[in-house]
């Protein structure tokens, strides 16, 4: 069967790209499970939350939301604010996720930072099915996160190895992907706008509130740069 072979080859091609995330997610997932354990939740909470929410930093926040007085509306708004960056991911992937049928739904559902950054920048080998490749990147990441959370939730109290700083693995992954993207593109306006304005926004507004102003500033500057940047595109 041709399709089965296609699926297998996409699965094999996708795995190496997710390997750094295997390390990062299993560790972060464990950290999340331990955290939930320390708050007094049984293992079923981190397992179900990691599989349904699947947005790393939001799940730590969600743990706190379960400990404060019941307020579903503020939970919704807080989530929208923290995860607003996904809107930019979606706009970036409108074209890439086009025409992928039912897989598209899962690809959007599982579009966490890590799945997005791989699927958005990777050069998929010509003989590999694009849809299945991106499906497996997303699916592997989803599994790592769920497995990590399960391990942490169940065995959380037994960990003795000093893991402080291990979460830097995710930062390192994003830096590598940023550099790869940088080397691929001829002009760096957009990368510099994103980096510079986000840093500026972080300095002005602080860690809790910087994302939305940063997104608005990026949008404004990129809109003003449209004419000159499109001129460069045409010339290139």
* Contacting another protein within 123-162 (CB under 8 A): 162
Question: Cβ 4 to another protein, closest distance in Å?
Answer: 27
Count of chain residues binding another protein (CB under 8 A): 97
Question: Cβ 1 to another protein, closest distance in Å?
Answer: 28
- Which of 4, 227 has the CB closer to another protein? 227
Applying CB under 8 A, among 161, 226, 235, 236 the residue interacting with another protein is 226
Applying CB under 8 A, among 32, 35, 54, 132 the residue interacting with another protein is 54
Q: Is 66 in the site for another protein (CB under 8 A)?
A: yes
Q: Is 106 in the site for another protein (CB under 8 A)?
A: no
Applying CB under 8 A, among 11, 120, 128, 159 the residue interacting with another protein is 120
CA 160 – CA 126 distance, rounded (Å): 45
Chain residues 170-199 in contact with another protein, contact rule CB under 8 A: 170-179, 181-182, 185, 188-196, 198-199
- By rule CB under 8 A, what string of x and - marks binding of each residue 8-47 to another protein? -----------xx-------------------x-------
CA 121 – CA 80 distance, rounded (Å): 25
Applying CB under 8 A, among 7, 75, 122, 154 the residue interacting with another protein is 75
Dig out the tokens for 76 from the structure: 């919704």
CA–CA distance from 41 to each of 20, 63, 144, 154 (Å)?
29, 9, 21, 11
* Spatial contact of 148 and 167, defined as CB atoms under 8 Å apart: no
H-only helix segments in the chain: 2-38, 44-52, 56-65, 72-82, 85-93, 103-109, 113-121, 130-155, 168-184, 189-205, 211-224, 226-235
Applying CB under 8 A, among 5, 15, 38, 109 the residue interacting with another protein is 109
To the nearest 10°, report the CA torsion of 122, 125, 130, 135: -60
């Amino acid at each position: 069967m041709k399709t089965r072979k296609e699926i297998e080859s996409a699965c094999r091609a996708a795995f190496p790209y997710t390997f750094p995330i295997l390390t990062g997610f299993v560790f972060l997932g464990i950290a999340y499970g331990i955290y939930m354990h320390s708050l007094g939740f049984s293992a079923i909470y981190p397992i179900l939350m990691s599989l349904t929410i699947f947005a790393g930093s939001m799940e730590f926040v969600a743990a706190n939301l379960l400990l404060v007085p019941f307020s579903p509306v503020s939970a919704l708004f807080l989530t929208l604010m923290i995860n607003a960056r996904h809107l930019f991911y979606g706009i970036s992937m409108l074209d890439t996720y086009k025409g992928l049928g039912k897989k598209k739904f899962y690809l959007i559902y599982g579009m966490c930072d890590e799945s997005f950054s791989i699927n958005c920048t990777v050069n998929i080998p010509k003989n590999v099915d694009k849809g299945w490749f991106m499906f497996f990147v997303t699916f592997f990441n989803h599994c790592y996160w769920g497995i990590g959370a399960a391990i942490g939730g169940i065995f959380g109290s037994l960990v003795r190895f000093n893991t402080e700083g291990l979460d830097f693995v995710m930062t390192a992954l994003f830096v590598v992907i940023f550099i790869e993207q940088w080397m691929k593109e001829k002009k760096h306006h957009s990368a510099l706008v994103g980096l510079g304005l986000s840093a500026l926004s972080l300095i002005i507004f602080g860690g809790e509130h910087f994302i939305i102003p940063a997104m608005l500033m990026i949008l404004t500057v990129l809109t003003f740069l449209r004419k000159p940047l499109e001129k460069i595109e045409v010339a290139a």
